[in-house]
Structure 1
Amino acid sequence: MNQITKVFTQFLDAVQCLQEALNVPMTEALTESFDNLENHDVKVEMGAPDPDTVELLKGKYASLNYDQMSSKQKVEVYNLLTLKAISDEDRDANQMPTPPILATVITLFMSKLLPKKEQTILDPALGTGSLLYSVVKQLASQNHSQNPFKLVGIDHDEDILNLADVGAHLNGLDIDLYCQDALLSWQGSKPEVIVSDLPVGYYVNDENAGNFELRTKEGHSYAHVLLTEQIVKNLAPDGYAFLLVPNSMISGKLGADFMPWLANKVHLQAIVQLPEKLFQTKVNQKSLLIFQNHGQSQPPREVLLTRLDDLKNEESLVGLNIKLNEWYTEKGK
């Protein structure tokens, strides 16, 4: 048994002990477990957990040597526990954490395109926050550990937002969290940067869908399409959006309607088709869609269109970076 597997097993045992004592979903027990560890205590509310379980948990927590773990180790084991919690509760597939390698792909583009200044970066479908946090941490590592971003996250699921809150703390990040339908009005000023792995499916609030140009004429509208329109509406002038979207939004019948609409609203920058192996089925396959809102900026001479076949091979990322550099140089002429 390797070290991370051993640590994961020990943490899982403590989380499941608390889960059983409180009779709550694992996501809730996971959030409270890390709160207990951070506060060096076992929270008791309405007599639960009982005194015997409190003593049992204190022993389990002590064996974890939590305070001696590095921040990186805490984040790693927390992400694994989060993945298990979401899987075990048979939650919506849209709530599964985004593969970390996709954050690296997005960061390549963000490091080139974003101006070096303080900006608000928002994820309107935050989930556990794994994509946003990974992107920001990578950008900070390229900037001498300086983080110029104000982080904002929106999600309609309070339990998932609680997980995102703990994740932000473990990553050493501050974030403003809003529990709401992202297709309703956003609070605060318009963000300069939006990054998101768009949830795919139907939007059941037909009344609110009527406020969007891209609503369907009959039946439920596509949530991922409406959310892109919402992003365009709320993105600051000259602001950038980096979105993981289903391939159907770019090609096929849906794409034939959506892409001309989008091209009229924003400056398209790049479309990167992601490796098929990353996704379970053809229907689930996604691409990275990057655009800049209208403002003082000019559209690029041409949109960067490329495809990644294998992200496990480092040469694939190197090749993408070369194409990006060539395109960026030409874009500035």
Structure 2
Amino acid sequence: MTPIERLFTLFDQTALILQEELQCTYLEAVAETGENVFHGDVLQEEVSELNKKRLKNEYKQIQLDRFTNEEVRKAFQLAVLKGMKEHTQPHHQMTPDAVSLFMSYLVGQFTANHFALTILDPAVGTANLLTAVLNHLPRKQVKSYGIDVDDLLMKVAYVNANLQKHPVHFFNQDSLQPLFVDHADVVICDLPVGYYPNDDNASRFILKGESGHSYAHHLFIEQSVHYTKEGGYLFFLIPNSLFTSDQAPQLHAFLKEHTVIQGLLQLPLSMFKNEQAAKSIFILQKKGIHVKAPKKALLIELPKFSNKQAMKAMMHKIDEWLATEKKGL
């Protein structure tokens, strides 16, 4: 059994016991068992003495310190994915792992000269993307913020970060309301796509819809730019249809005024059920005194992540592009 399999089995088996005992969903039970693993104890008073013993016995067999952060993240992610399949809601979708890892590589490369960083994920979900990025910035001092309106996802995110020993500041709120966070050097966000129901709040934004509901993903971009430092980077996972919608001209004008486009990396279409669902990684830099537009933006169609040779060549190409453009970064 691999370390990831061993850990997943622990999360899964103990979550099933708690699901039965607490009469809750599997996803809620995963959050509860994750909290127990972190504390090395059974925190739920409703659990029978017999099951308390069983659970404590299971927890004792695993010492978290013997696992890497990535092993913990991947094992916990598998349990969360199982829970999401049973309990699907449109916004309960996790960023694919290969994309999270590739985003963490990009963040690392673009911030290579930063010793200390502040990172914000305004749609943090279960914190899988955020913790993947944090796990790949080992030699930096990082302060991170995660925001989500969904209280169950927030509980999962908090447990996930604890298990990986990342001191993330979490806020359970509507990310499009005023935020109580430091301005960030880096924003990462798998953009929630769809309409934003709060027209009253949307009216504060430049990118509000002309009539009817506004696009949530446009407002998230504006909010993210607002909370980024001058010269800071934004890494968005965007739908490929972002620039062909009826409100695309306003978005284009906003981006031109406030940001510099560093790159657009199209994810392999094979990752998605259909072409309409396809996404890209969009890299922006907020304008500032020393910010120069790249001579040539990084425009790339990524190969399949499973094609190691092609990915290696592509990363080499990105590194070369960065080395050439870095004088202006």
The structural deviation recorded for 1:205 is: 0.6
Q: Which residue of 1 aligns with 2:27?
A: 27
5+ long unaligned stretches in structure 1:
141-145
SS in 2 for 1:237: strand
* Cα distance in 2 for residues equivalent to 1:215 and 1:188: 23
Identical counterparts, % of pairs: 30
SS in 1 for 2:295: coil
SS in 1 for 2:137: helix
TM-score relative to the length of structure 2:
0.90
Q: Residue 261 of structure 2 is aligned with which of 268, 277, 287? A: 268
Q: Which residue of 2 aligns with 1:191?
A: 184
Q: How does 1:1-333 map to 2 (within 5 A)?
A: 5=5, 8-45=8-45, 48-62=46-60, 64-66=61-63, 69-71=66-68, 72-92=70-90, 94-114=91-111, 115-140=113-138, 146-251=139-244, 253-296=246-289, 297-331=291-325, 332=327
When the two chains are superposed, the root-mean-square deviation of aligned CA atoms in Å is 2.3
Confirm or deny: 8 A CA contact 1:136 1:147 kept in the other structure.
no
Q: 1:157 to 1:264 in 2, by over 3 A?
A: same
Deviates more, 1:209-218 or 1:315-324: 315-324
The amino acid that maps onto 1:111 is: G
Confirm or deny: 8 A CA contact 1:108 1:321 kept in the other structure.
no
Confirm or deny: 8 A CA contact 2:119 2:142 kept in the other structure.
yes
SS in 1 for 2:36: helix
* Cα distance in 2 for residues equivalent to 1:224 and 1:153: 17
SS in 2 for 1:306: strand
* Cα distance in 2 for residues equivalent to 1:6 and 1:326: 40
The structural deviation recorded for 1:54 is: 2.3
Confirm or deny: 8 A CA contact 1:248 1:255 kept in the other structure.
no
Count, aligned residues: 324
The structural deviation recorded for 1:224 is: 0.7
* Cα distance in 1 for residues equivalent to 2:65 and 2:282: 41
SS in 2 for 1:54: helix
* Cα distance in 2 for residues equivalent to 1:275 and 1:150: 32
* Cα distance in 2 for residues equivalent to 1:204 and 1:252: 18
SS in 1 for 2:51: helix
The structural deviation recorded for 1:225 is: 1.0
* Cα distance in 1 for residues equivalent to 2:169 and 2:7: 30
* Cα distance in 2 for residues equivalent to 1:177 and 1:10: 26
Q: 1:44 to 1:67 in 2, by over 3 A?
A: same
SS in 2 for 1:322: helix
* Cα distance in 2 for residues equivalent to 1:3 and 1:38: 17
SS in 1 for 2:230: coil
The amino acid that maps onto 2:324 is: E
Q: Which residue of 2 aligns with 1:143?
A: none
SS in 1 for 2:182: coil
The structural deviation recorded for 1:323 is: 2.6
* Cα distance in 2 for residues equivalent to 1:44 and 1:288: 41
Confirm or deny: 8 A CA contact 1:266 1:293 kept in the other structure.
yes
SS in 2 for 1:192: strand
* Cα distance in 2 for residues equivalent to 1:67 and 1:105: 26
* Cα distance in 2 for residues equivalent to 1:116 and 1:223: 31
* Cα distance in 2 for residues equivalent to 1:4 and 1:67: 12
SS in 1 for 2:170: strand
SS in 2 for 1:236: strand
Q: 1:44 to 1:265 in 2, by over 3 A?
A: closer
Confirm or deny: 8 A CA contact 2:22 2:47 kept in the other structure.
yes
The structural deviation recorded for 1:230 is: 0.8
Confirm or deny: 8 A CA contact 1:37 1:66 kept in the other structure.
no
The structural deviation recorded for 1:5 is: 4.8
5+ long unaligned stretches in structure 2:
none
* Cα distance in 1 for residues equivalent to 2:39 and 2:105: 37
The amino acid that maps onto 1:265 is: H
Confirm or deny: 8 A CA contact 1:122 1:194 kept in the other structure.
yes
The structural deviation recorded for 1:9 is: 4.1
Residues 10-59 of structure 1: CA distance to partner in whole angstroms, max 9, x if unpaired?
532221111111112222211221222232322243xx123333234334
Confirm or deny: 8 A CA contact 1:248 1:254 kept in the other structure.
no
The structural deviation recorded for 1:7 is: 5.4
